[in-house]
């Protein structure tokens, strides 16, 4: 048994969740096409999504990525009327206390400059940063949107464990995993967790927000982990969530064709076996849409 498997098996305080398969990881290459689809649909999407109200938005990249990875999303949101900010700390090399301290300072500076609450968006590990900021500074945060972020489940249910050790310089054996138990506590602000059941990096059960009534989990059906910052359906969903009034947050309710793209009940127990009709795509998508109440 490998070192990581032994460590994972010893961590009995967490649910036993398997990391994504090697096939799902290989399928992450579709993120290349998702990015270019986002580029080509950029202007069209800006015409059909709700306009922003000008409030500030802080965008945090995922593990191993820098602000370069969030340029498309930030420009998209700037064009809608928001004022976006990169995280400004270079490459994300892990959840470091010193980086969290700097992020708190940055949040306060943005909040003071605008005199209003800041929405925070984070991809993957960036979403963990976003939630930690909101847990410690809720008075400055309007809402949190995470994309494929592993804030619950099992800390090692990921295909990126070795990358994390390499970038952070930390060995998982030396980390305090009691902190991970604290991180799964929902911040006292509206939270949207966007996940994909075809995520090849983070096991999707590790991205499920159980907090109610101002927390939600939305399956970006067919989406990749890497492409959650750039695919057209991700850009649309992020813009829709940001456009809500500050004190009027409501859970996302997909309508019409949206029910085939977004699942708000896909993380809930499946329908009884006798109710299933067919296997695979498109039957799985249609079945999930029925769970969400679609008329099809």
Distance between CA atoms of residues 105 and 107, nearest Å: 5
What is the structure's pLDDT at 210? 83
196 within 8 A of 21, measured Cβ to Cβ = no
At 253, the pLDDT band (50, 70, 90 cuts) reads very high
CA 74, 77, 79, 85 torsion: positive or negative? negative
Give the mean pLDDT of 251-258: 93
Residues 6+ apart with CB under 8 A from 293: 259
Can you read off the two tokens belonging to residue 8? 């994972």
Largest CA distance in the chain: 57
Residues in the chain: 296
Q: Which residues pair with 222 in a beta bridge?
A: none
At 72, the pLDDT band (50, 70, 90 cuts) reads very high
- Percentage of the chain lying above the pLDDT 90 cut: 73
Give the DSSP H/E element, type plus range, for residue 241: helix 232-242
Residue-wise pLDDT tens digits, 76-113: 999 999 999 999 999 999 988 899 999 999 999 999 99
What is the structure's pLDDT at 96? 87
Distance between CA atoms of residues 163 and 170, nearest Å: 11
At 276, the pLDDT band (50, 70, 90 cuts) reads very low
Can you read off the two tokens belonging to residue 118? 């800041």
Which of 220-224, 273-277, 282-286 has maximum average pLDDT?
Answer: 220-224
Distance between CA atoms of residues 133 and 85, nearest Å: 15
Query: pLDDT averaged over the chain?
Result: 89
The least confident of 51-60, 207-216, 270-279 is 270-279
Residue-wise pLDDT tens digits, 180-200: 888 888 999 999 999 999 999
Give the mean pLDDT of 1-7: 81
25 within 8 A of 198, measured Cβ to Cβ = no
Give the mean pLDDT of 137-144: 96
Give the mean pLDDT of 247-264: 93
Residue-wise pLDDT tens digits, 13-25: 889 999 999 999 9
At 273, the pLDDT band (50, 70, 90 cuts) reads low
Terminal Cα-to-Cα distance of the chain (whole angstroms): 48
What is the structure's pLDDT at 176? 81
3-state secondary structure of 263: strand
CB atoms under 10 Å from CB of 12, counted, come to 7
Asked whether the predicted pLDDT for residue 292 surpasses 80, the reply is no
DSSP-assigned letter for residue 2: -
What's the whole-model pTM score? 0.89
Distance between CA atoms of residues 70 and 50, nearest Å: 20
What is the structure's pLDDT at 272? 57
What CATH number does the domain located at 3-252 have?
A: 3.40.50.1820
What is the structure's pLDDT at 278? 44
What is the structure's pLDDT at 159? 94
217 within 8 A of 204, measured Cβ to Cβ = no
The least confident of 28-37, 239-248, 270-279 is 270-279
What is the structure's pLDDT at 271? 56
CA–CA distance from 76 to each of 11, 43, 49, 178 (Å)?
Answer: 41, 8, 11, 38
CB atoms under 10 Å from CB of 109, counted, come to 11
At 175, the pLDDT band (50, 70, 90 cuts) reads confident
Give the mean pLDDT of 64-74: 96
């Amino acid at each position: 048994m490998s070192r990581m498997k032994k460590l994972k098996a010893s961590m009995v305080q967490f649910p036993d969740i398997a990391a994504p398969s090697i096939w799902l990881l290989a399928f992450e290459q579709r993120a290349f096409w998702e990015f270019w689809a986002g580029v080509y649909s950029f202007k069209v999407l800006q015409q059909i999504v709700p306009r922003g109200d000008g409030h500030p938005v802080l965008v945090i990249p995922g593990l191993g990525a820098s602000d370069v990875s969030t340029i498309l999303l930030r420009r998209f949101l700037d064009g809608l009327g928001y004022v976006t900010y990169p995280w400004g700390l270079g490459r994300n090399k892990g959840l470091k206390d010193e980086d969290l301290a700097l992020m708190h300072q940055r949040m306060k500076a943005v909040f003071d400059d605008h005199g209003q609450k800041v929405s925070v968006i984070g991809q993957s590990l960036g979403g963990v940063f976003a939630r930690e900021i909101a847990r410690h500074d809720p008075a400055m945060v309007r809402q949190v949107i995470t994309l494929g972020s592993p804030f619950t489940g099992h800390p090692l249910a990921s295909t990126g464990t070795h990358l994390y050790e390499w970038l952070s310089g930390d060995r998982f054996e030396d980390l305090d995993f009691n902190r991970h138990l604290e991180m799964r506590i929902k911040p006292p602000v509206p939270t949207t967790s966007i996940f994909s059941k075809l995520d090849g990096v983070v096991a999707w059960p590790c991205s499920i927000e159980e907090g109610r009534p101002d927390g939600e989990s939305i399956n970006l059906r067919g989406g990749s982990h890497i492409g959650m910052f750039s695919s057209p359906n991700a850009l649309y969903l992020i813009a829709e969530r940001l456009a809500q009034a500050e004190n009027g947050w409501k859970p996302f309710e997909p309508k019409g064709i949206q029910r085939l793209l977004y699942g708000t009940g896909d993380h809930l127990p499946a329908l009884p076996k006798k109710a299933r009709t067919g296997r695979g795509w498109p039957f799985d998508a249609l079945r999930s849409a029925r769970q969400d109440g679609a008329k099809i």
